[in-house]
Structure 1
Amino acid sequence: MQELIDQLKEKAGINDEQAVKAIEAVKDFVKSKLPPMIAGNVDAWFTGMASQPKKTDAAEDFLD
């Protein structure tokens, strides 16, 4: 998750707190568009992102 925060800070020119709030807003938006039985997976996905080691190979995108 830190990698996403760092990219938001760099590309959008925002601070840590703003980046975290932006991620939360996107996560909540995505969850609101999914059926309830699938929406819980969004939390698991973001939690999984936070626990994964930072990848050094840009070709190994977290969406793969």
Structure 2
Amino acid sequence: MYEVDARGLSCPEPLILVSDALKSHPGEKLKVLVSEPHSRTNIEKFVKSRGLTVLVKETGSEFELTIEG
């Protein structure tokens, strides 16, 4: 599983990192860590628009998104 740690980054940086990771690791499960609720929402929408599945786990004030196709 490839991991993207985007905690502390502001949009659009987390979304760009996720997009790049999806391109460079096609078909691989992706774990994304973010600390901003709007980053979580933007990544969820982006991933779903590409027909991928996303599972979100909230831990305190952070979010862990698991993305797979």
Give TM class, smaller chain. Answer: 0.3 to 0.5
Larger Rg: 1
Bigger proportion of residues as strand? 2
